[in-house]
Amino acid sequence: MADKPQSGTLFGVPYNFERPSFKRLVSSYWQPGDGMLVEKPFGIGYTLNLANWRSWVVLLVAGAMLYLERNSGSEGFEDEDEKDEPVEVVVD
């Protein structure tokens, strides 16, 4: 039986299941000459290249959206007591 390849592409999507070293992890997330997306050091697909300024913009926008979502938890309710009351549902 032939050995299965540990890395390659499948339908244009890269995969790599070789055990990553620390040097390979750092070098895969910091590639100054490449674009915003680079191949993952372990797993399937792509990840952000932290040497590209566009990646930092994406991270800042995602962080701001997460912050706004977590801080807007109960603003939709006018009265705090109303949200704890049971709701009657009528089904015909």
Read off the pTM: 0.64
Average pLDDT score over residue span 54-61: 96
What's the mean per-residue pLDDT of the chain?
86
> Among 1-5, 19-23, 44-48, 75-79, which is the least confidently predicted range?
75-79
pLDDT in tens, 11-33: 999 998 988 889 988 888 999 98
The three-state (H, E, C) secondary structure of 4-49, written as one string: CCCEEEECCEEEECCCCCHHHHHHHHCCCCCCCEEECCCEECEEEC
Is the pLDDT at 40 greater than 60? The verdict is yes
Is the pLDDT at 88 greater than 80? The verdict is yes
